[in-house]
Homo-oligomer: A and B are copies of this chain.
Amino acid sequence: MNSDELKALLEAVQSNQVSIDEAFHSLKQLPFQDLGFAKIDHHRELRQGYPEVIYCAGKTPGQVKSIIELMLSRGNNILGTKATDEMYQEVLTVSDKAVFHPLAKTITIQQRPPIQSSTYIAVVTGGTSDIPVAEEAAITAEILGNQVKRVYDVGVAGIHRLFAHLELIRGARVIVAVAGMEGALASVVGGLVDKPVIAVPTSVGYGANFGGLAALLSMLNSCASGTAVVNIDNGFGAGYMASMINQL
């Protein structure tokens, strides 16, 4: 409920169009829907074209289907993250437009025509093993209506590969830098461009990597300005943040 709606409600009370009891309950109401095991939040869909997002991990295929079924009726795009093929099969029974992206482990349903921005987001990875996380970021950004350019396997061990794509990376409005191991990619990219960099540490590596901690700490301590970090392996978060920035 925004300020205009609040004032309208109060005016309706003043003019007796709305009773005090009704207003009392409206003022406590907020836009979500109760499925029992989940409370679907329609807050963000109010903005036209914004997809609804489901974090599928820890839900049964049936629950994922039920939630998506409910969302479908609103006509928005839909994004399911950390999904499985089994969930996808269930979702297909309620929408044949559903697409499964196996690397990114995401389900997307495009119900509205894509509103492509003229600017683009660059998604860059250090190695090939970082691609699944990068794809989660890229597909998240795409379903949110952004143009995405992928630059994969350009880590600092062979830094000339990065330089060969520097023009493309510099042309982006915002950059998502995905890297495991020592995560130096984020610092190097951050030092070469003047655009915001969303750094995504991945859990790729072994030994003193400690499940992505090495890359995480590296990125948090980046000596390059204009870098901020999301959780380890959180491609979705990076794609969402990049989209927010790209669409400002």
- Interface positions of A (Cβ within 8 A of B): 3, 6-7, 10-11, 13-14, 16-17, 19-20, 23-24, 27-32, 37-39, 41, 43-44, 47, 53, 57-59, 63, 126-129, 131, 152-161, 163-164, 166-167, 173-174, 181-184, 187-188, 190-192, 194-196, 198, 201, 203-234, 236-238, 240-241, 244-245, 248
Contact = CB atoms under 8 A, between A and B. Distances in A.
A3 B167 contact: yes
Interface centre among A6, A32, A213, A217 (most CB of B within 10 A): A217
A190 B237 CA distance: 12
B58 A223 contact: no
A23 to B, nearest CB: 6
Contact of A53 (B14, B155, B225): B225
A244 B226 contact: yes
Given A14-B16, A23-B10, A214 B225 contact: no
Nearest to A127: B223
A143 to B, nearest CB: 13
Stoichiometry, as copies per complex, reads: 8
Given A153-B39, A163-B28, A241 B196 contact: yes
Contacts of A59: 128-129
Contacts of A156: 184, 187-188, 191, 223-224
A221 B191 contact: no
B20 A10 contact: yes
Q: 6 nearest interchain CB pairs?
A: A207-B232, A30-B160, A228-B228, A184-B184, A214-B217, A58-B129
17 contacts: A10-B13, A13-B13, A13-B14, A38-B128, A156-B191, A157-B191, A159-B192, A182-B220, A188-B188, A194-B244, A206-B232, A207-B231, A208-B213, A208-B231, A225-B236, A228-B230, A245-B245
Contacts of A222: 157, 181-182, 184
A4 to B, nearest CB: 11
Contact of A37 (B3, B152, B155): B152
Nearest to A36: B152
A223 B155 contact: yes
A57 to B, nearest CB: 7
A53 to B, nearest CB: 7
A7 B24 contact: yes
